[in-house]
Amino acid sequence: MKKKLEVGIIGLGKFGLPLAKALVEKGHSVVGVDAGESRIRQAQGVLDHVYIADAKDSTVLHQLRFQDLDMVVVSVGSSMEASILIVFNLLEMGVKRLAVKAITPEHKKILSRLGVETIVQPEQDAALTLAHRISNPGLLDLLQLGGGVVLQELEVDKWEGKTLMDLHLTGKGIMVVAMHKPGEKDYTFVPPADKPLQRGETLAVIGYEKDVLDLEP
């Protein structure tokens, strides 16, 4: 069984609240903080621990034991200054794992300089993923793993009837880690290399982004 995490989320808007809900559904405990009453009311139906407070005040974060949480996510809306101050306070408190929503490229640079572990730009990330899917209709969900490496789903079309041995994907720096048939949800991990592929089957592959996007499955 995976470890149940205690996660703090500061900012319960369009990004923070869905993230909190998803974490709760996966069995984790979430502490939510926001300065807006309407957002707090929305979050109360999702989270057991929700507080209306100004997270720029380090005393508040100490009182809520944010320094003891497994991870803290900062998802403050439109104020880069507020986000940076909150991040600075969390780092001063000794928070070890920190993820922050960046508002602008400049904001992202500052967060990187501060040593933030995970920086997310939801709109930009979604736009890039959509661009990949429009440009490459055979490519399904793409997940950035860092260092230029991605986990990508590919739907079999031109590869129909060929085996993984025929395709020599490992020679191109691509590893097929799982597959599933059309209409099925469960994956078969480490699929056999000598079994002919069928049209509509989905392959999960890992490799450098450029190599993966060059594939025509």
Does residue 115 or residue 130 have the better pLDDT?
115
What residue segments make up the domains of the chain, in order of their start?
Answer: 6-120, 125-213
In this structure, whether the domain defined by 125-213 belongs to CATH 3.30.450.20 is answered with no
Percent of the chain exceeding pLDDT 90 equals: 54
Residue (of 209, 71, 97, 204) closest to 144 by Cα position: 209
Does residue 135 or residue 64 have the better pLDDT?
64
Query: Which whole-number Å values give the CA distances from 59 to 16, 56, 109, in the listed order?
Result: 22, 9, 27
Q: For the segment 105-129, what is each residue's pLDDT rounded down to a tens digit?
A: 899 999 999 999 888 887 777 666 6
The predicted structure's pLDDT at residue 131: 64
Q: For the segment 37-46, what is each residue's pLDDT rounded down to a tens digit?
A: 999 999 998 8
Least-confidence region, from 67-81, 116-130, 170-184: 116-130
142 pLDDT higher than 80:
no
Which pLDDT band holds residue 1 (cuts at 50, 70, 90)?
very low
Distance CA 130, CA 113 (A): 29
Least-confidence region, from 16-20, 137-141, 145-149: 137-141
Residue (of 78, 139, 69) closest to 107 by Cα position: 78
Does residue 96 or residue 73 have the better pLDDT?
73
The predicted structure's pLDDT at residue 141: 59
Percent of the chain exceeding pLDDT 70 equals: 88
The predicted structure's pLDDT at residue 105: 87
Q: Pairing state of beta strands 175-180 and 188-189?
A: antiparallel
3 pLDDT higher than 60:
yes
What average pLDDT does the chain have? 86
Which pLDDT band holds residue 74 (cuts at 50, 70, 90)?
very high
pTM: 0.65
| Domain 6-120 fold | Rossmann fold (3.40.50)
Does residue 214 or residue 126 have the better pLDDT?
214
